[in-house]
Amino acid sequence: MGYRAGLAGRLALAALAGAAVLAGAACSAGADGTPEVTVRMVTPAGPAPTPTLPPGVSPTPLVPPELVVSTLEVYQAGAVLVSVTGDVIGGQVEFLGRKYPLTKGSQSQYTFVPVDTEDPPGEHALLVDVRMPNGTRGTLQATVRVLPTEWTVDYLEFTPEQTAALLDPQVVAEEQALLKSIYVKVTPQKLWSGPWLIPAQGALTARFGEQRSVNGSAPSGHHGGTDIGAPEGTPVVATNSGVVVLARELRVRGNMVVIDHGGGLYSGYAHLSSIAVAEGDRVEAGQLIGAVGNTGLSTGAHLHWEMAAHGILLDALRFTDGTNGF
């Protein structure tokens, strides 16, 4: 993947560990179809500040912002890790009409930008507004291509008792509202670190996004998690570090644990036979949080594994297989 590079009115661009690093002033798409990237910096007008440094001492210049994106091509139900380095104290990312605040990490301001199952494929502008300590504001822009995902169909059979008790629209809606109220919150702190782990050993029995046919009905909707089939009692571990924000029994998902990884990113673990953590616990990647079970609306022992960024459910496996660029 090639990009133009330059300085002072052009674009500075370098490859960094497989990610695109964007910085500079402005660049438009070339004849070869390379994605457009724009950086616009605006310093507020006003009187010059009164010097406070001793004579002969020069002020330390601010480090200009650089935009780092994990990938410029992302699948539906995937996510792009967007980071801004340099002397930046905050900002937000806008993509597909949705806005997400940046969170302070160890080396940058960052956020995971989610792509929903129904977001349109094609090229879309990703805009990043940043703020610097001296009041300067900047806008960085890249073009990200959304790739279509082919959704499979899963045919499920439930007993009349299960259908009446657990597929009641009100029961489903209440549980979804509870989880949504958790998943939309943004903890302004990075709680995760390093690679993401698959939380249980077992066979993949249902993929994220599968459309569901229940008792012969027409396929509809999208499965909101990744199912891993395993014997009851199989250990379930945290996919990454964070804080437990839910550890209780739900009607549809059964015994469930939800971990806040900071910056608007969450992981969920459902249908557990037992729960080994409590709400408020700090957990590390790989730490035991429960065991595979068959609680709630379930046709057999398995782990239902969810990932959500800014309230949008995502394909958890894409956090482990490299297709998100990290």
pLDDT tens-place values along the chain, 326 residues long: 322 222 222 233 333 333 444 443 333 344 444 444 455 556 555 555 555 667 777 778 899 999 999 999 999 999 999 999 999 999 999 999 999 999 999 999 999 999 999 999 999 999 999 999 999 999 999 999 999 998 877 776 777 776 666 567 888 899 999 999 999 999 999 999 999 999 999 999 989 988 767 777 777 677 889 999 999 999 999 999 999 999 999 999 999 999 999 999 999 999 999 999 999 999 999 999 999 999 998 989 999 999 999 999 999 999 999 999 99
For residue 324, the model assigns a pLDDT of: 98
Residue with tokens 């077992």: 202
Q: Which two tokens stand for residue 146?
A: 């959304």
Domain definitions of the chain by residue range: 11-147, 153-319
Pairing label, strands 265-275, 254-260: antiparallel
For residue 49, the model assigns a pLDDT of: 56
290-309 burial string, b = 16+ CB within 10 Å, else e? bbbbebbbbeebbbbbbbbb
Strand, helix or coil for residue 97: coil
Task: Tell me how far apart the alpha carbons of residues 157 and 215 are, in angstroms, rounded to a whole number.
Answer: 5
Task: Tell me how far apart the alpha carbons of residues 76 and 150 are, in angstroms, rounded to a whole number.
Answer: 9
Count CA atoms closer than 13 A to 132's CA, side-chain side.
Answer: 19
Task: Tell me how far apart the alpha carbons of residues 124 and 143 are, in angstroms, rounded to a whole number.
Answer: 6
For the domain spanning 153-319, the CATH number is: 2.70.70.10
* Start-to-end C-alpha separation, the chain: 17
**Are 84 and 139 a contacting pair, CB within 8 Å?**
no
Q: Is 215 left (phi over 0), alpha (psi -120 to 50) or beta?
A: left
For residue 5, the model assigns a pLDDT of: 22
CATH homologous superfamily for the domain 11-147: Immunoglobulins (2.60.40.10)
